[in-house]
Structures are given as structure tokens and as C-alpha cells.
Amino acid sequence: TRLYCVFGNPVRHSKGPLIHNEAFKDKGINAVYLAFEVQDAAKAVQAVRTLGIQGASVTIPFKESIMAHIDWIDPLARAIGAVNTIVNEDGVLKGYNTDCQAAVAPLVPFGISGKTVCIVGAGGAARAVAHGIAAQNGDIIITNRTEQKGLALAERINARFIPADEMATIQADVVINTTSIGMAPKADKISFPPDALTSDMVVMDVVYTPLKTALLEAAEQKGCTTIDGLSMFIAQAAAQFELWTGIIPDTDLMRNIVINDKR
């Protein structure tokens, strides 16, 4: 039996074990995935080495601090400045960031190259999304409440910055909310002005509690194509699964197990 895990803090509500164990079973892989709430990134990495854990997901608050303790970091993860996936290759721990694929994978059917993609937010999630979109030659606009942070991210990836109070003027093909705005219990808050949405747009949200955020609700009413946060979450997990096993998991199966989970 091969061993995989997630470490973070808190990690109790992680859907990782649910979806990865289901995918292992579905693909006939003899492996198990566990969640560990840890205090210290260095000790967690040491445990991966000592126990021969084959792969690990890394979540809040360790995505940055973990980087100092592993053996090799993928260039894209280094550019993002965060690792969310460890692959143990015969004792060599390699770090990747699949959060950027979470933004890219659901957009592939619509095309990204040459499209104008507006990213709302400038935190860690925005950084991963922005690098993923930039790697696919999307034309990026960053908007953020705090101008300084938004400008800094825009500069880093050669994108335009538009201040939050001018959001209504933004014309984009794709809008991606990377902030926590709209997350329960403040689910009535909206991260982008509905008046700036038009039916030809694709609108994505990283928030998935609720599954249909106020932004996605407004987008649906305008006739936009919508991609919810669960699709993005599943996409980053599917990319991890592929790094670990070389097998592409059934993302519909992963999604359904989360939606039907009553715990």
C-alpha cells in the first residue's frame, strides 16, 4: 500500500482524503490518503521522508514555508512562490504548484491564449491563478482592494492593474474571483460588479461554500458561462493525482463524491 497525505492547519475539513481515496479505488490503485494537522513544516517534511510517504498535498499555512525543506522546486511553483504538492521520487522530494492548473484546466475548452482575463484579488490564490493564465498567454488585468498589492502582482507578471473602484469599467472575456468575498457566512457579498458582466463572458469563482456564489448567480442571470470553485478545487487535486500516479482521474466522480458528502 502506498501512502499519500495532506498536511495543513487546520485540515479537518479537507476534502482531500475523500476525493483522492475515491480516485485510488476507481483506478484500482493500492494507496491510501490521510490528513495530518501539523505545527511545523520542517517536521512534516521529515515525516514524509522517514515514513516513505509517496506524495503530499500542502495547504494553509505551509505552502510557502515548505519550500525551504524539499529538494527540488518546479520553476512555475518557484515563480508563484508556493508549493501545494510534494512528489517523493525515490527519496527526492519535488515540489509543484497545481493551484495554477485549477484556473487553467476549466478554461481550456474556451481557449485562453489572447483572451483578456480579469483576476480579482492579489493574494496567494491570485498569484497561482495569474501565473497559470500567464503561462497560457492570457492577457491579464489585476484588480484588488489594496492598490499597492495589486500593482505589485501586476508588475510581477507583466499585467495591467485597474483599481477596485474602477472595476465596473473592466472589459474582459474571463473574470476570476480569487478572494474570499462571497464565502459563507457572508454569502451575500459580491466580488465583481454585475453590471460589468455580459453574456459572452466566462466567470469563475474560487469560493465553493456556497457552490453558487452571488457572483456566479449574477453571471448566470446575465447568461455568462460559469465555473464554480469546486471545479477549480477538483482540477488542482486531479493535477496532483496525475503527478503522483501518472493517471488522469475521473473528475466527475471526484466532484460528485464531494457534492454528495453529508458529513
Return the range that interacts with ligand ATR (CB under 6 A); candidates 15-23, 73-81, 99-107, 138-146: 138-146
CA 128/CA 125 separation, integer angstroms: 5
The residue type found at 10 is: P
Closest CB to ligand ATR: residue number: 123
Whether the CB-CB separation of 206 and 222 falls below 8 Å is answered with no
Q: Is 144 annotated as a binding residue?
A: yes
Would you count residue 209 as binding ligand ATR (CB under 6 A)?
no
Residue 194 in grid coordinates: 454585475
Is residue 116 helix, strand or coil?
Answer: strand
Would you count residue 121 as binding ligand ATR (CB under 6 A)?
yes
In sequence order, what are the residues at sequence separation of 6 or more whose Cβ sits closer than 8 angstroms to the Cβ of residue 20? 4, 33, 237, 240, 241
Would you count residue 180 as binding ligand ATR (CB under 6 A)?
yes
Whether the CB-CB separation of 124 and 62 falls below 8 Å is answered with no
Q: Which listed residue (25, 27, 43, 63) is catalytic?
A: 63
CA 148/CA 152 separation, integer angstroms: 6
Shortest distance (Å) from residue 166 CB to ligand ATR: 14
Would you count residue 123 as binding ligand ATR (CB under 6 A)?
yes
Return the range that interacts with ligand ATR (CB under 6 A); candidates 16-24, 45-53, 71-79, 143-151: 143-151
Whether the CB-CB separation of 5 and 36 falls below 8 Å is answered with yes
- Catalytic site includes residue 222: no
Would you count residue 97 as binding ligand ATR (CB under 6 A)?
no
Query: Look-up: residue for cell 510517504?
Result: 53
Would you count residue 236 as binding ligand ATR (CB under 6 A)?
no
Active-site residue set: 63
Note the residues at the interface with ligand ATR (CB under 6 A).
Answer: 121-126, 144-146, 149, 178-181
